Structure 1
């Protein structure tokens, strides 16, 4: 049942009026709540005036606010109203929480991890659509989740969740939840790998004994996730995924896309979830043979007997890049972009695979220093 009564006439503060904030404001207006909005950016405040939202410094009258929605991009420890938010953590809800409240009767599959989230969501979507299910893929990969939240109990939602979304989530629950892998990322916000891993693990916190939690058995941080699982006394069924679990499936698939190690790992998770949904292997194989991947994610843009060109420009951390490099030999590597916090190039395992590196963009000196004398450039 849609919780119309729960929020009717309640005073809801929205902090941060980007795509997520606007979608939350519209949803609460639909639920007949009294919505007060704020963004620290004056240009954004001027834009949202046209949307007829009440622009209000809600923190100046804190007792009157019943719930606070913060946009995922806001770091509470650094924002302008951090003291107010820290005192009112129990009032904070996220877009994930509201999405769940609106769709409690739907089957939700949620995917997080450092790398491979979007691809895994799309593999699952392809399998479910081939099996004739009504499917919507939402979150980072698709529409903002609250633009897709008209309740639909017959729909299966596949949701890509980021660490930013999970950090302050308290209510969100999914029938199937997966952490694909963990490697250092977003440490400028989470400070260290333990905090980052714990934040990712929040995807399991609201699950119950009828739900499924999937983790990567071969990832070096899986032990940390298991320890969190035990310490929190989580009740869901914990399933350890190993890419060798789908070796037999790879023999049946005729698709070059699944020859890379990273994509096999993504496939292993998708297959485990599909089997728990009782989908037949023949349907799964048919779906996988038709799967073409996503743009800029290990995308094959040219394939001939002499040359294979891969566009992996969505690999925005070196760990993601390393996964792709490990799949090939005789590599001519075009590299550049904006380095992430504490990003470090450990090239030892792929050095012999790379013939030459071509460094482009504004941060040439950073990449030259990282590559050093290890690889010609």
Structure 2
């Protein structure tokens, strides 16, 4: 754990005792802060106490004594409605931060030569895969690297920092809007599309939160931006005009005169006077699809900007095992392949899978985002049949009916998997794909997208096992 020594002697409120809140409270306490930690949920308070967190009722505190409030990223401080702790903090002039800001101050407090390297990643989609891939590249190249932030472990739960350490951090807009001091040696901004507008209010505010990933960078640091998305292409032009750092564009749609490109599956680096082919991404089995090629290009740009050997980076990209719930192949039952893309919680994310495969038996639904699945209409021809689950089923039924896409309302994930398997087996289609890519949040039926993906894995694995057993029985007969 990273000890928050910069908070020594301060009285700090912590609200939200989940993964990040508990580690923040423990880190602050070990650094010498007087911590008052609280959660509205009794079970969360009990679990935090069991971990050694100092749980005190913030509703009974004198808020004028607090130096800062560490508010869990998932708890709103303004929209759609400020949480009561945020309202208390504002009334008493208490700054609201998150665990990333604590981490940033600990890095800044160290002498320059003793600081770790920081690589940060944001964007509407692709953050987790890019973060995991960068971590994989660094480790494959012999670096002491850890990933965290919005993926895996909370940032303060990572191992003690030292010179030569690399921290690879996935950062959400919720985290970035409460972070002021973080300086990234390499910052990646992949793409931008409407999401979390109930929290930020407008696209302009959402964009502003994401752009904080570039705050505090110097001429020695690198900004990596995907330019295939019109919003981030504009941001690239604006940052270039401001200058102030090395800016590396990334594209999978066109060859760049300067930058990192992917053309016909091949990754090219053109950041100096000579264009170099790095690797053939068609051999990277865990990085299927154009969006994953962008992730690979961004990961290459970030690691190469930190001085890693291009050839070693290319070899590491090809050996990347992939990330659970992101276009993850579970296995096959005969010709039928099961793909878990539960992380696709909005239409933009689901689009990446729908345009990467053909003969799709598509499982979709849950808590719909604004616009539903209408943005996916141009990829409907790749769908053989759709199976709708969750509360969005009536809305999605109307959209698919208008576009003459064969579908049925399955209701539950288990029923959808069974029906899709039966239909795919009986179709006679070559290499059908049963794809869970919901284009929705999971909260109507599952705790989170991971739980939904694990449920899909269990249903698919059961079918695969039965198929193998029957195949073995027939072979032995």
Deviation at 1:90? 6.4
Does residue 205 (structure 1) correspond to residue 215 (structure 2)? The answer is yes
Does residue 373 (structure 1) correspond to residue 377 (structure 2)? The answer is no
After the TM superposition, which residues 56-67 of structure 1 pair with which residues of structure 2 at under 5 Å, given as runs? 56-57=57-58, 61-67=62-68
Aligned 8 A contact 2:137 2:313 in 1: yes
Does residue 95 (structure 1) correspond to residue 80 (structure 2)? The answer is no
Deviation at 1:40? 2.8
User: Quick one: structure 1 residues 6 and 157, their matched pair in 2 at CA, closer, same or farther if it must change by over 3 Å?
Assistant: closer
Q: Partner of 2:465 in structure 1?
A: none
Q: Partner of 1:236 in structure 2?
A: 245
Q: Partner of 1:73 in structure 2?
A: 74
More off after superposition, 85-94 vs 262-271 = 85-94
Coordinate RMSD, CA, aligned: 2.6
TM-score (norm 1): 0.90
- Structure 2 unmatched ranges of 5 or more: 109-114, 256-260, 267-276, 408-477
Aligned 8 A contact 2:186 2:302 in 1: yes
After the TM superposition, which residues 129-148 of structure 1 pair with which residues of structure 2 at under 5 Å, given as runs? 129-148=139-158
Q: Partner of 1:158 in structure 2?
A: 168
Q: Size of the alignment, in residue pairs?
A: 375
Which of 102, 109, 117 is the aligned partner of 1:107? Answer: 117
User: Quick one: structure 1 residues 299 and 62, their matched pair in 2 at CA, closer, same or farther if it must change by over 3 Å?
Assistant: same
Distance 1:123 1:5 in 2: 31
Distance 1:317 1:218 in 2: 19
Distance 2:189 2:91 in 1: 30
Deviation at 1:82? 3.7
Q: Partner of 1:22 in structure 2?
A: 22
Distance 2:231 2:378 in 1: 20
User: Quick one: structure 1 residues 4 and 81, their matched pair in 2 at CA, closer, same or farther if it must change by over 3 Å?
Assistant: closer
Aligned 8 A contact 1:198 1:225 in 2: no
Q: Partner of 1:357 in structure 2?
A: 386
More off after superposition, 59-68 vs 92-101 = 59-68
Aligned 8 A contact 2:373 2:396 in 1: no
SS for the counterpart of 2:64 is helix
User: Quick one: structure 1 residues 342 and 59, their matched pair in 2 at CA, closer, same or farther if it must change by over 3 Å?
Assistant: farther
Deviation at 1:306? 4.7
- Structure 1 unmatched ranges of 5 or more: none
Indicate the structure (1 or 2) with the bigger Cα radius of gyration: 2
Which of 261, 271, 282 is the aligned partner of 2:290? Answer: 261
SS for the counterpart of 2:70 is strand
Aligned 8 A contact 1:138 1:158 in 2: yes
Higher relative CO (CA 8 A, sep ≥ 6), structure 1 or 2? 1
TM-score (norm 2): 0.72
Per-residue CA deviation, residues 312-335 of structure 1 (Å, 9 max, x unaligned), is: 122111110011111122222122
Deviation at 1:112? 0.9
Deviation at 1:63? 2.7
